[in-house]
Amino acid sequence: MDNKSKLRALPKIDELVAALDALCEEYGRDVVTDCAREQVEDVRRTILSGGDCEVSLDALCARVADAMKAIYAPHLHAVVNATGVVLHTNLGRAVLSEAAARAAYTAARCYTNLEYDVEKGQRGSRYSHIERLLRRLTGAEGAMVVNNNAAAVLLILSTLARGKEVVVSRGELVEIGGAFRVPAIMEQSGGTLVEIGTTNKTHPYDYENAVTENTGAILKVHTSNFKITGFTEEVPLTALREIADRHGLPLIYDLGSGRLCDLTEAGVLEEPGVLQALADGADVVSFSGDKLLGGPQAGIIVGKKELIERMKKHPLTRAFRVDKMTFAALEETLRCYLDPTRAGNVPTIAMIRRPLEELDRAARSLRRRLSAIEGLHAAVVDEKSQVGGGSVPSVFLDTRAVAVTADNISSAALEENLRRRFSIICRVTHDRVLLDVRTLLEGDDKTIADAFRTLCEEAK
Ligand SMILES: *Cc1c(COP(=O)(O)O)cnc(C)c1O
């Protein structure tokens, strides 16, 4: 068929839609008609530009069916995290506990007392729910929650440092993934950054010398995603407290991760805890909800009541406002920290603490499944997992992984197929596909085995 006759042979839209009864039933006639029009137009363009396309009614019907499926398929979907990175920012950071997810679901499906005081029968504060718990957990006088920690830092600086100078060590001018940069946030807040010290060393006298009548605050930023080693010195919070007191300045600490339970046994030693930060004298501490805390995306601010109350009244607070589902999931997550023995109910904490024997058992079980597949070779290997999410970059947790090779498929092709067709995210090292079991969830073993089985059968 030449191009002209092909164009003539293209089915009319009405004819095409009439042949798609089942699809119309499922999705609705209007959306199918729009999709049919797009597909016919697509084919027409391809033919006009010299391309080859089937123009039969059947072929067009199949195209529309595929296109409809693609439109309705959830674009945000579950993936298997076989990287071992517990807080993988690109994979959505923390996985919520069943209880926290259920709380979010219930809040979503119901009216709630989000901003309603049931006792008094009048408008209440959306922060009241979480403030109670955060005060109990941290001992802080005041607490509030915004959409993420970047927003928290911007709100703190906008409230306390607008039009004033803020003293920050050069060793702490960090960039966190996704373009959160301390100097840029400072500029947005209307505060003026006063850099002091050097990259590797900052002394108390650097702070003292930088304070003027225009100083609005001292800011400490936890260098969460990198580590400077060697000839280094930073000023501890307790010393900063003394300097802040001498000059009557608020001391702000951007903690980043916000650890609320002990993780020393798991080997996470250098991540400052929220309680310690407050005990050491920070007036305001901020941290993420979905890093080490293991909750939903949020930015938590705790500290002096008077300062927090000022922040609540700032116009940005309305712009950074958190929804009821986040509050519900966060409350449920925080509840796990009331009793230290329950912190392991938070999946993030459980994954970080997973004992090596348990990881070993999980790896051997996965290896058995994979070894049963024809053409596939699997072995358990010693590996290191990272906590991720910009937390404790120098901590490498001992873990077990399953290293896989296939007879007729390269490791690079395996990794690409696992990722693109089965949403299984893993690494290739030493020409082997590596599946770290630390971050695998229930059911992932089967998903992985089914995917490998399909790939090996295709490659036979
Ligand atoms: C992660 C991090 C942030 C940003 O927190 P988000 O919740 O991702 O917005 C800010 N400061 C520090 C030190 C961090 O580690």
Distance in Å, CA 374 to ligand 1 centroid: 46
Residue nearest to atom 6 of ligand 1 (CA): 149
Whether residue 1 has pLDDT greater than 80: no
Distance in Å, CA 256 to ligand 1 centroid: 5
The first and second tokens of residue 144, run together, are 């509030």
What pLDDT digit, counting tens, does each position of 368-420 carry?
Answer: 999 999 999 999 999 999 998 777 778 899 999 999 999 999 999 999 999 99
Q: Between residues 278 and 231, which one has the greater pLDDT? A: 278
Predicted local distance difference test score (pLDDT) of residue 269? 78
Mutate to test the pocket of ligand 1, among 155, 288, 291 (most ligand atoms within 8 A of CB): 288
Residue nearest to atom 15 of ligand 1 (CA): 256
Residue nearest to atom 5 of ligand 1 (CA): 149
Distance in Å, CA 289 to ligand 1 centroid: 10
Count CA atoms closer than 13 A to 393's CA, side-chain side. 11
Whether residue 205 has pLDDT greater than 80: yes
Distance in Å, CA 394 to ligand 1 centroid: 17
Which residues surround ligand 1 with Cβ inside 6 Å?
148-150, 153, 176, 180, 221-222, 224, 254, 256, 288, 299, 390
Averaged confidence pLDDT in the chain: 95
Predicted local distance difference test score (pLDDT) of residue 425? 98
Q: What is the pTM of this model?
A: 0.93
What pLDDT digit, counting tens, does each position of 92-108 carry?
Answer: 999 999 999 999 999 99
Predicted local distance difference test score (pLDDT) of residue 2? 83
Atom of ligand 1 nearest to the CA of 299: 7
- Quick one: what percent of the chain has pLDDT higher than 90? 88
Mutate to test the pocket of ligand 1, among 155, 168, 180, 253 (most ligand atoms within 8 A of CB): 180
Q: Which residues pair with 157 in a beta bridge?
A: none
Whether residue 161 has pLDDT greater than 80: yes
What pLDDT digit, counting tens, does each position of 300-350 carry?
Answer: 999 999 999 999 999 999 999 999 999 999 999 999 999 999 999 999 999
Predicted local distance difference test score (pLDDT) of residue 46? 94
What pLDDT digit, counting tens, does each position of 151-160 carry?
Answer: 999 999 999 9
Predicted local distance difference test score (pLDDT) of residue 395? 87
Distance in Å, CA 412 to ligand 1 centroid: 33
